[in-house]
């Protein structure tokens, strides 16, 4: 029976919805829902009835049925607003209300010779005798001349040292894999080495699975001692992705322990270097098949590799289904990035033309075919080679090909070729079909020994049945192992799997998991992902405990492999399995949520990680587990960067965690206290953060845990930023270096050098500070981490800025900004904008164009407000706008500077306010500022966060002394400042002090003072011209008439 609905036809026999001659694509379940409603259009169909008949025994969410109704309406040009085809009867169900006209399908065309056997049932498993001629031979390769020409051109590029990524894209069955295999064959004939990896279709594959396959093959060809010698320390990082290869390298040291994102960068960098090295001796082709099924870590490694292959003899070919991309965000994200790479090509494969279809059929049949038959086949398949092959096999079986019988195709291509596959499978014996159903649960590829035990069938009988399926072209021997088979196409496996009744599917998943446990019990580690998948699928039937256990184990393994996105997926599926656990296990759920948050953070999902950890915190609070609450709250804080913008929610959670923790839990209390040190409002009081940090260190030392001690010492060092604890900061940084040496922790050593660098700058020992930077750079090189390169590039930029190497400073500032943006460090833009303000202020003076940067920094980091406003007042004073300078100065000086926090901004702000007080001739405030700055006469005016400095504090003391009429003291301060600035190589501040000293001498009588002022001014103008201090040079030149007037 065919149902006519307006200009649509619904054909249940062929499982087609047609509009004229065009097929309207529907998902199978949407089609089933539509058919059920049409066949019962005389009444309301309840939701329960639809679920009971179309999803019998299955556990489905409440959204499934409305989604199917929406899709059915859309296919028939209907929607929820109009409801002129499918009507929602509220609180009841649905009714098909459009007029329906039915007619017998056999009356479709006079002379239709379609038999019941040819139309068949869409269900897999109907036993129809198979003709021996249905045995499959490799399909002919036709119609890809243009694609092959481009691929061969890219292969030639690789031979000449120009690497490329080519992505073959198209719908299922279009020939992506076959095309890639053809170019791989060409590459081998031309002397290239070829390695391939196929992404696993379905759940259960280990992380980095396609890369593991490639590394197994490529590293397997390596002589172990040469592999280690050529790669050095990076050899261990390569093997981190394929740990099963490590037994071949027993003397290889493990990679260092690093934070997650840094460890993964190091591993990706090592794998990239390995392939680049491998391509030196001969061109190298890597084939990554079915990327639409790839785990996100595999895609991120591909992205990393592609950015580095431009100047290598490396061709990477990937295949993916473009129709799948919308459902797979990881691929969509990576494709967006790859599209911007100049050496990535996207090569779409479309259906064969009508002439190519005729050639395909002729090559398969061995004889030319009638144009009418070729045209019909082309229209029905759109030239898809896989669909084409299925139809040709049906024609061979039915004899239609020999008769050039286009009418024989009337029932051959139902919805998405499922029936074509079903009919070919139905030609197999019932025992073979049942075995294939069990195999479809294992996956696209499977081992004979596993299948035999799952099906509880003797191995020799299993081999017989698999041979029957292979003869029919349903299976093929897997290329990478004896005793392994694979379905010839994903659609074949999907069709078999989808046709399994839900209860049987659940039982088979459980049995597969049990067989893996039984056969691989001695080494389950490589199979944890598969075990987690199979027991998760059988969780509704009582396997929730094993699903949870294996889900956690699989996630932990993925984390060890640096596959953080994969770990997050395992943890998320474990949470679903916990939904089926009886009784409910809230403590485990909380643990899993905390681990999920850590995995999300490691994969760069900061906001998602925070939301996950907040869920965990709520559970920890509800079940009265202070330890879980504290761990969850620490996760809410993310990486724990110090001094971030105010976050009241985080502050409240940290306070709650600290208040509820057991006083005896030294480790967690120390970690929470350390986090509070850098959290506003605690971070805004030096006294408070010093107190918290001291308690954190004491608890960490009592805990005996080195990692906790590192966290506490880092917090303590940050707490001591500012002018008052420089020597103590230097001592604690040295303690961190000693601890790092003892536990072999490079990141801690890096932090130690960072804090020593800042302390040495404050003391004015620039040579020692530069030595710390060099040591930190060496560590950054060893760790191969972009975050550490960002730090050292930023520091080098600040050093260039303060030395007066302004062009170099701007270049390094941009490099650091690019690095920081790439790693998504939250402070990257703020640091770059702070350096830009400093740089422009030194060269030409601040102007209105920098207002947006000022506002950004004020909003991003409110504690910086004092130094930013002091800088504004200084700018206005230098440029003669006394009224505005006075207004801003008064706002900061209202309490005679007693209310200014003595933090990392204090010394810079106080030095700038000294300049403003002198410009405004405010002697009372100048006297106060002189007293405040006097203890720091031998110190460098450092901004502890930017790692930039404004030269010797004696410069500012000289200005204040001159304003106070203490000429002798002023001269002594200026001489001390000139000596210190010159020793530091701080040329901009030498020039500034020369100018200030000359101007102070102008106020003194006598020829000696005039001559010295003239000399100092000449030196200032020369220095300003040499290094580009435009504003200072102009102001110095303007003083010359005053000198001439004193002659």
Spatial contact of 95 and 37, defined as CB atoms under 8 Å apart:
yes
pLDDT of residue 476: 84
Residue 603, domain member (yes or no):
no
DSSP 523: -
| CB contact set of 1047 (below 8 Å; sequence gap of 6+) | 1010
What total number of domains does the chain contain? 8
Domain boundary among the residues 457, 481, 500 is at 500
| Per-residue pLDDT, 965 | 93
* Contact assessment for residue 513 and residue 543, using Cβ atoms and an 8 Å cutoff: yes
**Residue 931 has what DSSP assignment?**
H
Residue 106 has a pLDDT of 36
Same domain as 301, residue 258: yes
The tokens for 333 are 């994200």
| Phi, psi of 23, rounded to the nearest 5 degrees | -80, 135
The string of pLDDT tens digits covering residues 796-835 is 999 999 999 999 999 999 999 988 887 777 788 889 999 9
Same-domain pairing of 768 and 810? no
Residue 6 falls inside a structural domain: yes
Kindly state whether residues 409 and 438 are assigned to the same domain: no
918 in a structural domain: yes
**Which residue matches tokens 């499977």?**
446
Separation of alpha carbons 190 and 383, rounded Å: 31
Sheet holding 8-11, edge to edge: 22-24, 16-19, 8-11, 2-5, 101-103
Of 576, 608, 610, nearest to 592 by C-alpha is 576
Q: Tell whether 184 and 324 lie within a shared domain.
A: yes
| DSSP conformation class of 256 | P
- Assessment of whether the complete model's pTM goes beyond 0.85: no
Inter-residue contact 174 to 385 (CB < 8 Å):
yes
Running along the chain, 1047 residues long, what does each successive block of 10 average in pLDDT? Answer: 86 78 79 89 85 71 77 87 83 85 46 30 27 44 89 92 91 86 91 89 80 87 81 84 82 78 84 90 92 87 88 92 57 69 85 87 77 78 78 67 52 50 78 94 90 93 91 78 79 83 92 92 88 91 89 93 90 91 88 94 85 95 96 88 82 96 95 93 89 96 93 93 92 93 89 94 94 94 81 95 94 92 81 89 72 76 84 84 91 91 91 94 96 95 90 96 95 96 95 94 87 93 92 88 72
Neighbours of 13 (CB within 10 A): 19
* CATH number for 316: 3.40.50.300
Q: Do residues 360 and 344 both lie within one domain?
A: no
Tell me if 270 is assigned to some domain: yes
Prior bond to 157 cis, omega within 30? no
* Dihedral pair phi/psi, residue 487, rounded to 5°: -65, 140
* CA 197 centroid distance within chain: 21
Q: From CA 15, how far away is CA 28, in angstroms rounded?
A: 8
Asked if 498 and 58 count as a contact pair (C-beta separation under 8 A), the reply is no
Residue 898's closest CA among 944, 865, 853, 929? 929
> Is the CB of residue 252 less than 8 Å from the CB of residue 243?
no
Per-residue DSSP letters for 450-500? Answer: HHHHHHT--HHHHHHHHHHHHHTTSEEE-TT-TTEEEESSHHHHHHHHHTS
Question: What is the DSSP pairing of strand 314-321 with strand 22-24?
Answer: unpaired
791 contacts 754 by C-beta, under 8 angstroms: yes
**Does residue 377 belong to any structural domain of this protein?**
yes
Spatial contact of 140 and 360, defined as CB atoms under 8 Å apart: yes
Whether 924 maps to a domain, the answer reads: yes
DSSP annotation of 254 reads P
Residue 768 DSSP SS3: helix
Which residues does 935 contact at the CB level (< 8 Å), separation at least 6?
Answer: none
pLDDT for 167: 92
- Do 344 and 357 have their domain in common? no
Residue 102 lies in a domain: yes
Same domain? For 193 and 330 the reply is yes
The percent helix, strand, coil of the chain (3-state, each to 5) is: 65, 10, 30
Query: What is the structure's pLDDT at 127?
Result: 26
Question: Please, which residues bridge with residue 348 across strands?
Answer: 169
**Contact indicator for 996, 959 with CB cutoff of 8 Å:** yes
Summarize pLDDT for 632-662 with one digit per residue, the tens: 999 998 877 777 778 899 999 999 999 999 9
Q: Are residues 396 and 432 in the same domain?
A: no
Report angle CA 110, 116, 119 to the nearest 5 degrees.
Answer: 85
User: Both tokens of residue 45?
Assistant: 């169909």
Q: Does one domain contain both 952 and 922?
A: yes
Domain that holds residue 70: 2-108
Structure tokens at 851: 């207002």
Which of 55, 87, 108 is the last residue in one of the domains? 108
Buried b (16+ CB within 10 A) or exposed e, 776-791: bbebbeebbbbbbbbb
792 and 766 share a domain?
Answer: no
What is the bridge-based pairing of β-strands 93-96 and 45-46?
antiparallel
- Tell me how far apart the alpha carbons of residues 204 and 202 are, in angstroms, rounded to a whole number: 7
Q: Do 411 and 465 reside in the same domain of the chain?
A: no
- The whole-number pLDDT of residue 645 equals 74
The answer to whether residue 1034 is domain-embedded is: yes
- The greatest distance separating any two alpha carbons of the chain, rounded to the nearest whole angstrom, comes to 125
- Tell me the C-alpha distance between 981 and 975, whole Å: 10
For the domain that residue 92 is a member of, what is the CATH number?
1.10.10.10
Beta-ladder partners of 948: 943
Residue ending a domain, choose from 738, 753, 780: 780
Q: How far is CA 179 from CA 94, 160, 317, 346, in A?
A: 47, 23, 10, 14
Distance CA 868, CA 854 (A): 7
Same domain, 923 and 1045: no
């Amino acid at each position: 029976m065919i149902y006519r609905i307006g200009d649509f036809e619904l054909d249940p026999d062929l499982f087609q919805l047609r509009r004229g001659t065009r097929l309207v694509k529907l998902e199978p379940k949407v089609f089933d829902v539509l058919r059920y409603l049409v066949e019962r259009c005389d009444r309301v169909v309840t939701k329960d009835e639809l679920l009971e008949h179309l999803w019998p025994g299955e556990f489905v969410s409440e959204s499934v049925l409305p989604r199917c109704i929406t899709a059915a309406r859309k296919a028939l040009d209907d929607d929820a607003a109009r409801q002129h085809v499918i009507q929602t009867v509220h609180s009841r169900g649905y009714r098909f209300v459009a007029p329906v006209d039915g007619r017998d399908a056999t009356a479709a065309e006079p002379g239709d010779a379609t038999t019941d056997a040819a139309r068949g049932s869409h269900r897999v498993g109907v036993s129809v005798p198979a003709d021996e001629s249905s045995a499959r031979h490799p399909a002919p390769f036709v119609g890809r001349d243009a694609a092959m020409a481009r691929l061969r051109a890219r292969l030639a590029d690789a031979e000449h040292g120009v690497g490329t990524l080519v992505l073959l894209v198209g719908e299922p069955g279009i020939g992506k894999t076959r095309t890639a295999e053809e170019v791989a064959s060409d590459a081998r004939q031309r002397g290239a080495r070829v390695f391939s990896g196929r992404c696993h279709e379905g759940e259960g594959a280990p992380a980095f699975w396609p890369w593991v396959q490639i590394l197994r093959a490529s590293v397997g060809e390596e002589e172990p001692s040469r592999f280690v010698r050529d790669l050095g320390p990076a050899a261990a990082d390569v093997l981190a992705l394929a740990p099963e290869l490590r037994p071949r390298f027993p003397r290889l040291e493990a990679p260092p322990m690093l934070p997650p994102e840094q460890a993964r960068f190091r591993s990706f960098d090592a794998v990239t270097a390995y392939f680049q090295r491998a391509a030196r001796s001969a061109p190298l082709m890597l084939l990554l098949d079915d990327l639409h099924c790839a785990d996100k870590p595999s895609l991120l490694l591909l992205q990393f590799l592609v950015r580095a292959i431009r100047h290598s003899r490396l061709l990477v070919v990937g295949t993916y289904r473009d129709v799948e991309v919308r459902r797979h965000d990881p691929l969509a994200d990576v494709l967006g990035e790859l599209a911007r790479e100049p050496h990535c090509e996207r090569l779409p494969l479309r259906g064969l033309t009508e002439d190519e279809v005729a050639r395909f059929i002729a090559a398969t049949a061995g004889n030319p075919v009638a144009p009418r038959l070729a045209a019909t086949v082309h229209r029905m398949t759109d030239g898809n080679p896989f669909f084409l092959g299925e139809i040709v096999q049906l024609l061979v079986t039915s004899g239609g090909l020999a008769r050039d019988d286009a009418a024989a195709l009337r029932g051959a291509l139902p919805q998405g070729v499922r029936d074509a596959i079903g009919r070919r499978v139905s030609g197999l014996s019932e025992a073979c079909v049942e075995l294939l159903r069990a195999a479809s649960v294992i996956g696209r590829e499977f081992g004979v020994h596993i299948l035999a035990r799952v099906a509880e069938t003797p191995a020799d009988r299993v081999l017989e049945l698999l041979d029957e399926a292979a003869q029919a072209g349903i299976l093929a021997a897997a290329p990478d192992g004896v005793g392994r088979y694979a379905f010839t196409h994903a659609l074949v496996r999907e069709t078999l799997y989808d046709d399994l009744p839900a209860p049987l599917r659940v039982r088979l998943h459980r049995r597969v998991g049990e067989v893996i446990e039984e056969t691989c019990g001695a080494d389950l580690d490589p199979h944890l992902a598969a075990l987690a998948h199979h027991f998760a699928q059988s969780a509704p039937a009582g396997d929730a405990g094993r699903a949870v256990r294996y889900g956690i184990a699989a996630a932990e393994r993925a984390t060890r492999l640096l596959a953080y996105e994969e770990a997050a997926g395992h943890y998320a599926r474990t949470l679903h399995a916990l939904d089926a656990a009886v009784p409910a296990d809230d403590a485990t759920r909380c643990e899993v949520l905390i681990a999920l948050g850590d995995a999300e953070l490691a994969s760069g999902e900061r906001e998602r990680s925070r939301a996950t950890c907040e869920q965990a915190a709520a559970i920890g609070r509800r079940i009265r587990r202070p330890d879980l609450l504290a761990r969850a709250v620490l996760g809410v804080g993310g990486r724990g960067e110090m001094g971030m913008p105010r976050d009241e929610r985080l502050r409240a959670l940290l306070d709650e965690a600290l208040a509820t923790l057991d006083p005896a839990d030294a480790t967690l209390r120390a970690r929470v206290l350390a986090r509070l040190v850098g959290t506003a409002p605690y971070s805004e009081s030096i006294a408070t953060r010093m107190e918290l940090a001291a308690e954190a260190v004491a608890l960490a030392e009592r805990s005996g845990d080195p990692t906790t001690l590192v966290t506490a010492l880092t917090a303590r060092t940050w707490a001591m930023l500012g002018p008052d604890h420089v020597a103590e900061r230097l001592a604690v940084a040295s303690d961190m270096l000693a601890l790092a040496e003892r536990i072999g922790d490079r990141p801690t050593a890096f932090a130690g050098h960072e804090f020593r660098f800042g302390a040495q700058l404050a003391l004015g020992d620039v040579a020692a500070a530069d030595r710390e930077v060099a040591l930190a750079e060496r560590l950054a090189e060893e760790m191969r981490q972009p975050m550490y390169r960002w730090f050292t590039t930023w520091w080098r930029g600040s050093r260039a800025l303060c030395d007066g190497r302004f062009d170099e400073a701007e270049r390094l500032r941009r490099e650091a900004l690019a690095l920081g943006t790439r790693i998504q460090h939250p402070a990257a833009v703020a640091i770059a904008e702070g350096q830009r303000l400093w740089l422009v202020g030194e060269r030409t003076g601040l102007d209105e164009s920098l207002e947006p940067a000022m506002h950004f920094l004020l909003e991003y980091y409110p504690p910086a407000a004092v130094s930013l406003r002091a800088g504004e007042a200084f700018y206005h004073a230098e440029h003669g706008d006394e009224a505005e300078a006075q207004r801003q100065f008064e706002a900061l000086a209202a309490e005679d500077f007693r209310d200014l926090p003595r933090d990392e901004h204090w010394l810079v702000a106080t030095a700038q306010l000294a300049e403003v007080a002198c410009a405004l001739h405010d002697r009372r405030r100048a006297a106060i500022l002189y007293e405040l700055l006097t203890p720091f006469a031998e110190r460098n005016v450092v901004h502890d966060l930017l790692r930039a400095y404004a030269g010797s504090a004696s410069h500012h003391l000289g200005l204040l002394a001159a304003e106070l009429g203490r000429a002798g003291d002023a001269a002594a301060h200026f001489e001390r400042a000139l000596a210190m600035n010159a020793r530091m190589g701080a040329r901009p501040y030498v020039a500034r002090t020369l100018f200030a000293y000359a101007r102070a001498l102008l106020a003194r009588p006598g020829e000696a003072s005039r001559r010295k002022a003239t000399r100092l001014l000449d030196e200032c103008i020369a220095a300003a011209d040499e290094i580009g201090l435009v504003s200072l040079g102009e102001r110095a030149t303007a003083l010359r008439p005053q000198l001439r007037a004193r002659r």
